[in-house]
Amino acid sequence: MTEAVIELDQVSISWRERLAVRDISGAFVRGTLTAIVGPNGAGKSTLVKAIMGLVSPVRGRIRIAGGQGAHMACLPQIVEIDRSFPVTVYDLVAMGAWGRVGAWRAFDRLEHDRIEAALELVGMADFSRRIIGTLSGGQLQRALFARLMLHEADTLLLDEPFAAVDRATTDDLMALIHDWHDEGRTVIAVLHDLDLVRTHFPQTLVMAGQAVAWCETAQALTPENLHLARHICAGDYL
């Protein structure tokens, strides 16, 4: 029996004084691997923010199994990270443990071991004392994935996880996503590379300010659905 971890019931969301998402309904099932795709301005990131409780729907309801934010963690867009803040890679990753340890308590040996293991897994162990402002885009994204690991969340939302990273980094991070999926976690990722989606993501939500398709990837990414999404975002069918 499938269990929905996130349910959307006729959800509409405003962002920067405009309606960014209209009347979207559906469910993300526990243990699934789902891509969210669509043209720029389709409301993909706005939907992720609403699921995380950062913005509230103007209509409809988002139901989270266990309550808002329960066992969920989010990888934000890399452009949302303040790279001028003088924090080390190690300390950035350690922030992922705050929900478990607290922001001001000292970390015990177990937590330090978790941080070091996460850095090793993403290939950033040798960069732990570097200030994040000195990192390349790919290096910073690896560090953010390590921080995500420290949350030990059951549901992971990734907002454009492969933006501004090279193919080798994409392949390494995609392997981590598959590991999480194999562990039974629910993974939802906002993506632009449709070839990557077709290769790695069994489920896809195509958005254009609304749900154009939400089903198995082969059925969702038809030329007709992609054409419709582009035209809706361009305002042709509004």
What per-residue confidence (pLDDT) applies to 2?
Answer: 76
CA-based angle 46:97:189, to the nearest 5?
A: 30
What per-residue confidence (pLDDT) applies to 104?
Answer: 63
Q: What's the rounded Cα separation, in Å, for the pair 125 and 104? A: 24
What per-residue confidence (pLDDT) applies to 227?
Answer: 95
pLDDT tens, residue order, the chain (238 aa): 578 999 999 999 998 888 999 999 999 999 999 999 999 999 999 999 999 999 999 999 999 987 655 589 999 998 888 888 889 999 999 998 877 666 666 777 888 999 999 999 999 999 999 999 999 999 999 999 999 999 989 999 999 999 888 999 999 999 999 999 999 999 999 999 999 999 999 999 999 999 999 999 999 999 999 999 999 988 764 4
Nearest CA among 128, 123, 115, 118 for reference residue 88: 128
Backbone angles phi, psi at 113, to 5 degrees: -65, -40
Residue 174: in which H helix or E strand, if any? helix 167-182
What per-residue confidence (pLDDT) applies to 16?
Answer: 81
What per-residue confidence (pLDDT) applies to 66?
Answer: 73
Tell me the domains of the chain and their CATH numbers: 1-71+154-238 (3.40.50.300), 82-152 (no CATH)
What per-residue confidence (pLDDT) applies to 238?
Answer: 43
Task: Collect all residues with Cβ–Cβ distance below 8 Å to 57 and sequence separation of at least 6.
Answer: 11, 12, 13, 50
Backbone angles phi, psi at 155, to 5 degrees: -125, 125
What per-residue confidence (pLDDT) applies to 237?
Answer: 47
What per-residue confidence (pLDDT) applies to 27?
Answer: 96
What per-residue confidence (pLDDT) applies to 210?
Answer: 94
pTM: 0.91
